[in-house]
């Protein structure tokens, strides 16, 4: 039962990183100066999907609270600064994207664009830091509380934040290659391929710093799975680059989406059966089973989730289907 809920939690968070990931990647690209495509066209690419993307995060945290209450408290409070950064970013992006086109003046719109860029940077760095914080463990005391926040200040956390930022940028550019009018695609594909080396370097440095970190080595229960993560990321990035060069935007997007989907499940698997590993007192580590809500709660939520999850997926799929394909001059513009 716990495993099923853990898998569902992983599914929702991973989907958030994939869908929210391209939102943030697209948002980052608003920072580019120069000619086409304009900010508004860029945001029109997100269009109807934007509101449906962020809800995966909200739902993931809802599952975290309902099915893993102890984990939710210790995880969020224990990684406070990282969560704070991510949350600030999420709020800025949400408000920025939806409000930027409401003022009519170009200067006001440009100011909102800058806020969106800042938000995207913060969100990507923040979630990268949260994932790294899980991998390197937290100073969890015998009383079950995480002490202090200084444990996050490591090179590995910084590198992982940057790696996620770079991944998200590649992902966003690939999404635009797939979604904007065909005339735009070659330029965007060049942009995306140009970002790939940066992402490779970022992933490589996070990997090296992770391998060098005693804390990461101690926390990871399955080194093979942990090492698989960077290898898979590199493979996905190279696949995306090759596909972009051949003009296969769909394949490239599948590859970058895979890259963003992988961290959550692989980190979960690498730490299993623990989730919050204590760096100070191994006995105090929190396992998934301990973190889970008690039986009656899981059973209740389970009966609910059984019909609900397919419905949620169905309505999201409806949205993707209705608004599929490249945008053109007739695409509704609102953001």
Partner 1 sequence: MDPLLLARLQFATTTSIHFLFVAVTLGLVTLLVGLQTAGYLTGKPAYERLTRFWGQLYVINYVLGIATGIVMEFQFGLNWSGLSRYVGNVFGAPLAIETLVAFFLESTFLGMWIFGWHRLRRGVHLALLWGVAVTAYASAFWIMVANAWLQNPVGYEVRDGVAHLTDFGALLTNPTFGMAFGHVISASLVTGGLLMAAVSAWHLLRRTTDYALFRTSLRLGLVTAALAVTTLQGFGFAQFGPVGQLQPTKFGGGPDRDALVADWTARFGPGDWEPPVLSDVGLGFMILIGFTLGAVWLLLPLLWRDWIIRLKAPLWLILLGLPLPFVAMLLGWIAREVGRQPWAAYGLLPTAQAVSPVSPGLMLTSLIGFSLLLGALAVTNWMLLARHAARGAHDPALGRPPAPDTDAHHQPVFV
Q: Does 49 bind partner 1 (CB under 8 A)?
A: yes
Phi, psi of 265 (to 5 degrees): -65, -40
- Which neighbouring-strand residues pair with 140? 146
Of the two residues 66 and 128, which places its CB atom closer to partner 1 in the complex? 66
Q: Which of 50, 156, 175, 253 binds partner 1 (CB under 8 A)?
A: 50
Q: Per the structure block, which two tokens stand in for 277?
A: 């590993």
Long-range contacts, 282-290 (Cβ 8 Å, 24+): 283/142, 284/140, 284/141, 284/142, 284/144, 285/137, 285/140, 286/70, 286/71, 286/74, 286/140, 286/144, 288/2, 288/3, 288/6, 288/68, 288/71, 289/2, 290/70
Regarding 302 and contact with partner 1 (CB under 8 A), the answer is: no
65: contact with partner 1 by CB under 8 A: yes
Tell whether residue 331 is a contact of partner 1 (CB under 8 A). Answer: yes
String marking each residue 97-136 x if it binds partner 1 according to CB under 8 A:
-xx-xxx--x--x---------------------------
Query: CB of 261: closest distance to partner 1 in angstroms?
Result: 19
Question: 223-245 and 155-179 helices cross at what angle (nearest 10)?
Answer: 30
Chain mean position to CA 304: 26
Query: Which residue among 214, 224, 283, 332 contacts partner 1 (CB under 8 A)?
Result: 332
**How many residues make contact with partner 1 (CB under 8 A)?**
87
Q: CA-CA distance, 277 to 249, in Å (whole number)? A: 40
Is 308 near partner 1 (CB under 8 A)? yes
Q: Is 322 in the site for partner 1 (CB under 8 A)?
A: yes
Exactly one of 28, 30, 44, 241 binds partner 1 (CB under 8 A); that residue is: 44
Place of tokens 């389970």: 302
Residue 312 in the binding site for partner 1 (CB under 8 A): yes
Within residues 179-198, the interface with partner 1 by CB under 8 A covers 180-181, 183-184
Return the residue of 149, 198, 218, 234 that touches partner 1, per CB under 8 A: 149
- Which residues touch 228 (CB under 8 Å, ≥6 apart)? 266
Look at the chain and count its residues: 335
Task: Report the alpha-carbon angle 218-219-220, nearest 5.
Answer: 100
Beta strands of 154-301 (E only): which ranges?
Answer: 274-276, 286-287
| Contact between 23 and 50 (Cβ < 8 Å) | yes
Least distance CB 10 / partner 1 (angstroms): 16
Q: Which is nearer to partner 1, 98 or 258 (CB)?
A: 98
Stretch that binds partner 1, among 39-47, 130-138, 233-241, 278-286 (CB under 8 A): 39-47
Judged by beta carbon, residue 83 or residue 233, the one nearer partner 1 is: 83
> Is the torsion defined by CA of 13, 16, 22, 26 positive or negative?
negative
Q: Which is nearer to partner 1, 57 or 233 (CB)?
A: 57
- d(C-alpha 242, C-alpha 198), whole Å: 16
Task: Check residue 333 for interaction with partner 1 (CB under 8 A).
Answer: yes
If binding is defined by CB under 8 A, does position 225 make contact with partner 1? no
The yes or no reply on residue 265 touching partner 1 (CB under 8 A) is: no
Cβ at position 159, least distance to partner 1 in Å: 23
95 binds partner 1 (CB under 8 A): yes
Rule CB under 8 A: say whether 73 interacts with partner 1: yes
Residue 289 structure tokens: 């089973």
The residue from 26, 29, 83, 189 that contacts partner 1 (CB under 8 A) is: 83
């Amino acid at each position: 039962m716990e495993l099923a809920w853990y898998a569902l939690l992983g599914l929702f968070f991973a989907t958030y990183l994939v869908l929210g990931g391209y939102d943030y990647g697209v948002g980052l690209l608003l920072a580019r100066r120069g000619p086409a495509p304009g900010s508004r066209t860029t945001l029109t690419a997100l269009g109807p999907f934007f509101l449906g993307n962020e809800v995966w995060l909200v739902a993931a945290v809802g599952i975290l609270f309902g099915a893993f209450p102890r984990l939710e408290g210790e995880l969020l409070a224990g990684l406070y600064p990282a969560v704070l950064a991510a949350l600030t970013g999420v709020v800025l992006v949400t408000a920025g994207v939806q409000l930027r086109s409401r003022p009519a003046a170009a200067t006001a719109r440009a100011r909102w664009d800058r806020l969106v860029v800042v938000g995207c940077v913060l969100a990507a760095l923040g979630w990268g830091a949260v994932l790294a914080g899980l991998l390197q463990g937290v100073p969890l005391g015998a009383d079950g509380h995480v002490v202090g926040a200084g444990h996050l200040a490591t090179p590995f956390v910084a590198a992982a934040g940057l790696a996620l930022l770079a991944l998200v940028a590649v992902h966003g550019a690939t999404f635009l290659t797939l979604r904007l009018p065909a005339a735009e695609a070659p330029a965007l594909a060049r942009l995306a391929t140009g970002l790939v080396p940066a992402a490779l370097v970022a992933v490589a440095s996070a990997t090296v710093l992770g391998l060098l970190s005693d804390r990461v080595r101690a926390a990871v229960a399955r080194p093979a799975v942990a090492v698989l993560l960077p290898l898979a990321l590199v493979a996905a990035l190279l696949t995306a680059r090759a596909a972009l060069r051949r003009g296969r935007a769909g394949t490239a997007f599948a590859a970058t989406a895979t890259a963003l989907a992988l961290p959550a499940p692989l980190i979960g698997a690498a730490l299993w059966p623990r989730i919050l590993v204590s760096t100070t007192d191994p006995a105090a580590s929190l396992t998934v089973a301990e973190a889970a809500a008690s039986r009656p709660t899981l059973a209740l939520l389970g009966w609910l989730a059984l019909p609900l999850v397919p419905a949620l997926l169905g309505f999201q799929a409806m949205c993707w289907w209705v608004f599929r394909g490249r945008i053109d001059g007739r695409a509704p513009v609102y953001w």
